[in-house]
Structure 1
């Protein structure tokens, strides 16, 4: 059984914190915004089985942020817990990372999907992320244990910054597949589209260029004329890159527009960008009470790849489907749940 509601009183009280959160959480807001439908399709067990001996009144509150990818992941969480036999309160679609975080640390919510980089940099206040995915997850897991939260195994999907090129231009750019190869191109081909925040971030565009032996302005082998860089509004970078305004556009690796526009993500082969792998995060007390929840969510995480989230996000942002329906169809396709 699933009970749905709009964000509760505590979440509404936290909305004042959203303004503060906006500057620090805009990375993941690049995945688009969609309202979550209150309706979630009924789910019957598949490979996720009803937990033996689970009390009929076993309750679980699931929360998520309010952008597309989080809405899809939130509905996946709700469907999984419902199939396992929980009476689920669906408190997804909460505005802002800070509000969701406080729901989890106050234990007013039991479960969410969170990003390792967001927790490390935004919530825990560290100045630099850890590019190694496993080390970043372990560091977050260890630190958050003191907050009464348990991070389960992370998914392969890593929703971090990247640069992409339109596929039809790859041949003209010497078959480029890696960021390090930009330095080998003629200066007039080193053209970029970036959003204003990434351009000004201390861990953004200029440090990234330096990591790859490139310099904005100046002269020399790695020089990039400032006229080669277009600073655009968030969201317009994708279409500008697709139209050839620039060769290299700043993107988020799981955004559905990568697939729909036929863009190709370049490998961050020198490991500049922090890891933003998503993982199920549960209240440690809830997990202690219902340890079977680990098996439930550990089934799902390995299937959540960049390509899968690009497709699921695309169905919401491009096709206009409801996140709950997208999540349900994917869960059925993978065999995690079945139609009643």
Structure 2
């Protein structure tokens, strides 16, 4: 008799447990359904890319009900690229020149041609490149303001005319790469009095001390502001364009089409000079990338403060 009672009690407890489990399961399912609207935004491991990733994340959070996970500073170009293709992340900022030349080993062309080719190449892999941000983080040549004023330098062609009076100080690999000094020499007939290879950080110290007259740089590098350098125009478009913009999985866009309109709010919003300043706020002033990104969006009127 006691055994029967025990069995009955155990049966009742089991039934209650099943009911509770079922309720719990439904609750978890509802929560999963509610929380399923999410996206992971990533970035490469340098200041500019981290700032741009935070901008995109901030906009999506402010303008949609999509939950955003941020995995910034993930690694170099190929690391983040593979993460995107493997659906470990769904969105990150990249550059047309990197996509065309690095990922697909194709020729770039002008900004318009590179953008078109970028979209064509990505489409085959079910990826998309949305509207460019406006800045072009390409290679360039820079001089001090004093040198620019002295020789009235505005373009690479202007520099070529007086290059035999100057010393070039650039990164080591720039001296030997076909898309570096050898290519510039050939296209612009630019031949410096002397050329020196050095580490990236030393280049800026050298030009500031007058040990060199010309250096290579990235168009959006914060060091350009710090050392008051003047970027010269690549008037024959030797360097490929590196126009920045959002790269996103097409299946993510299909699932959340509202993301495209939201991210396109950044179209043409960031000039090279503005990107330099944003980078400088992090690299020189010590501000946090997410704060810099948010403040910029507020300043542009894209989100509320």
- Scaled by the length of structure 1, the TM-score of the pair is 0.77
Superposed CA deviations along residues 79-130 of structure 1, whole A, max 9, x for unmatched, are 111112211111111011111001111122111111111111111022x432
The answer on 1:300 being equivalent to 2:276 is: no
User: Partners in 2 of 1:163 and 1:186 — Cα distance?
Assistant: 12
Show the counterpart of 2:175: 199
Sort the Cα spacing of 1:186 and 1:138 in 2 relative to 1 into closer, same or farther, 3 A: closer
The answer on 1:148 being equivalent to 2:126 is: yes
Query: 1:169 deviation in Å?
Result: 2.1
Query: 1:62 deviation in Å?
Result: 0.3
- Which of 71, 77, 80 aligns to 2:59? It is 80
Show the counterpart of 2:147: 169
**SS of the counterpart of 1:187?**
helix
- Which of 280, 293, 299 aligns to 1:314? It is 280
Greater Cα radius of gyration, structure 1 or 2:
2
The answer on 1:243 being equivalent to 2:223 is: no
Show the counterpart of 1:104: 84
* Runs of 4 or more consecutive aligned structure 1 residues displaced over 3 Å after TM superposition: none
Query: 1:320 deviation in Å?
Result: 1.1
Query: 1:199 deviation in Å?
Result: 1.2
**SS of the counterpart of 2:123?**
helix
User: Partners in 2 of 1:309 and 1:73 — Cα distance?
Assistant: 9
Show the counterpart of 1:47: none
Q: How many residues align?
A: 271
Superposed CA deviations along residues 269-301 of structure 1, whole A, max 9, x for unmatched, are 111000100111111011112111111111113
**SS of the counterpart of 1:63?**
strand
- Which of 141, 158, 172 aligns to 1:181? It is 158
Name structure 1 gaps, 5 residues minimum. Answer: 1-54, 216-223
Query: 1:57 deviation in Å?
Result: 4.0
Query: 1:181 deviation in Å?
Result: 1.2
Sort the Cα spacing of 1:213 and 1:186 in 2 relative to 1 into closer, same or farther, 3 A: closer
- Scaled by the length of structure 2, the TM-score of the pair is 0.85
User: Partners in 2 of 1:236 and 1:142 — Cα distance?
Assistant: 39
8 Å contact kept, 2:108–2:117? no
Superposed CA deviations along residues 210-267 of structure 1, whole A, max 9, x for unmatched, are 110134xxxxxxxx34xx1121112221222222222211110000111121100000
8 Å contact kept, 1:255–1:310? yes
- Which of 250, 255, 258 aligns to 1:289? It is 255
Sort the Cα spacing of 1:61 and 1:233 in 2 relative to 1 into closer, same or farther, 3 A: same
User: Partners in 2 of 1:281 and 1:71 — Cα distance?
Assistant: 14
Query: 1:333 deviation in Å?
Result: 1.1
Superposed CA deviations along residues 302-326 of structure 1, whole A, max 9, x for unmatched, are 1121011100001011111111111
Name structure 2 gaps, 5 residues minimum. Answer: 1-33
**SS of the counterpart of 1:302?**
coil
User: Partners in 2 of 1:155 and 1:210 — Cα distance?
Assistant: 32
User: Partners in 1 of 2:83 and 2:35 — Cα distance?
Assistant: 24
Measured on the aligned residues, the alpha-carbon RMSD in Å equals 1.4
8 Å contact kept, 1:103–1:109? yes
Show the counterpart of 1:9: none
**1:63-142 to 2 correspondences below 5 Å:** 63-84=42-63, 85-126=65-106, 128-130=107-109, 132-142=110-120
Show the counterpart of 2:242: 276
8 Å contact kept, 1:237–1:251? no
8 Å contact kept, 2:208–2:227? yes
